[in-house]
Each structure stands twice: as C-alpha cells, then as structure tokens.
Amino acid sequence: MGRIKSWFSREGRKLTSGTLQEAGWYIWTYYRYWILGIVAVLGVLIFLAVQAVTVPGENWFFACFPNTYADLDEGSDFYEGFVEYAGYDLKEKNLEFNASIYCKPSGRVMGNAYYETLVSFLDSGALDALVMEREDIEAVGKVGRLLDLEDERLNGLAERWADRLVWVEPSEEIHYEKSPVAIGIDLSGSRLVGEYRAYPEGAVLGVGAKSSHLDQVEVFLNYLFEGDGE
C-alpha cells in the first residue's frame, strides 16, 4: 500500500510541476495504452449492456438454410415476408434465419467447422427447422437429429403433409422407436425452390429433434407454400 501511495504522489508531482500542455503530453506518452485499453473495455461493457436491455433473448423461430447463396438472412425480403406473415413482434422475441453454413452431411464432414456448428444448433435444441437437399437431410435424419414428423407433439402435421413426407431407415435402432421414419417434408414448388431459387434442384425441410418451437413449424411451411398448406 505504501508503494502505491508513493507512486501516486510521485506521478502527481510530475503532472503539477509543469504546464497543462506538458501534463497532457506526459499522460499521453506514458499512459496512452492504458487509456485506450480502458476506453475499449468500457465500450464493450456499454455495448453488452445495451444489447442486454434492447435485444430480446428468446426466439420465435430459428431456421437454417445450408449450402445456398440466396439472400435469406435477416433483412432479406424472404425474412421480412415471414415476419409479416407470422405476425411476429421482434421487440418481444427474435426470428433467426441462418444461410451461412456450407457442409454436406451426406459426404465427408470430419473437420468441417460448419458441420460442427450445425450439429451444435441441433443438439442444443436451438434449431427448429433445417432445410437442405434431400440426401443431406436424410443423412442428418438417419442419426436421430431430426424429429419423427409423426410425433404427437406436432399435432397431426404428418397427416396434413402426407404426400410430401420423406422417409428414412435409421442407421441404428436407438435413434428412433420405429423404422422407417418420416424425417422431412419435400419443398418442391415452394418459395425456396421457385421464387427465391435457393435450392433449384429441390429441398427438404426437417424439424430439429430437440426443437422448442414446434407450433411454428407449420406456420413456416404454410409461408413457404404461400399459405396453401397441405
């Protein structure tokens, strides 16, 4: 404690022994990195505080669209159209669309950071809907990461979209209680395949096995087919 007091006393004498201009030069010369560091830390803390106060922490819905260069992210016409269609208040909760993942679950995925990100979304329960080409959705579904669309929590969704169901044989019995399993809905003729050309060769929508917004899946499906649900 004595050494600290001595240091403050010594630095105080240096600052008060000259002119104001000399004091400013001394502070900037010897303490500018401390000053810049403190300002940066304060800036980050202020930003985080503002985010915590102004940005909702929960989602209405989270969908992921890997392997496309179409503009589907936040702010796009596709995104804004769904906000309006679903009637979401984004001041209350978030709508998350991610079109920035590139991986092929049906092929080689070892060491692919995008694939690891996708798996983390699914395994954490954050991801509600996954849209990919058929072979990739099938690969994800075979290992149990997509919900059986005949699950009672979906309130009959499989029956209403029966002629679009995509079925797979699970790779292991532990992944599902039956076989085959309906893990996807064919999106042929939907906005994503046609109007937005996100998947010109076709795509399938799967539901995250741990999704917590199952009631919004069919809202999204109806939007993709312009309200004309099956």
The CA distances from residue 135 to 60, 138, 173, 202, in Å, are: 28, 5, 20, 11
| pLDDT tens digits for range 5-29 | 665 666 666 656 767 676 666 666 7
Amino acid at 128: D
- pLDDT bin (cut points 50, 70, 90) of residue 2 is low
Amino acid at 47: F
Paired residues of 146 in beta bridges: 208
Q: Are 205 and 130 within 8 A, CB to CB?
A: yes
For tokens 């209403």, name the residue.
160
> What's the first-to-final CA gap in the chain, in angstroms?
76
Residue 48 backbone phi and psi in degrees, to 5: -65, -35
The CA distances from residue 18 to 7, 23, 216, in Å, are: 18, 7, 69
CA atoms of 191 and 171, how far apart (whole Å): 31
Burial 15-46 (b: 16+ CB within 10 A, else e): eeeeeeeeeeeeeeeeeeeeeeeeeeeeeeee
Both tokens of 49, joined, read 């505080």
What dihedral angle (degrees, nearest 10) is formed by the CA atoms of 84, 85, 86, 88?
Answer: 0
The CA distances from residue 203 to 17, 28, 161, in Å, are: 75, 60, 15
- pLDDT bin (cut points 50, 70, 90) of residue 171 is confident
Length of the chain counted residue by residue? 230
* pLDDT greater than 50 at residue 198: yes
For tokens 């022994």, name the residue.
17
Q: Give pLDDT, residue 53.
A: 39
| Mean pLDDT of the 64-73 span | 96
Q: Give pLDDT, residue 10.
A: 67
Strands (E), the chain: 59-64, 94-98, 129-132, 165-168, 181-186, 204-207
For tokens 């998947």, name the residue.
199
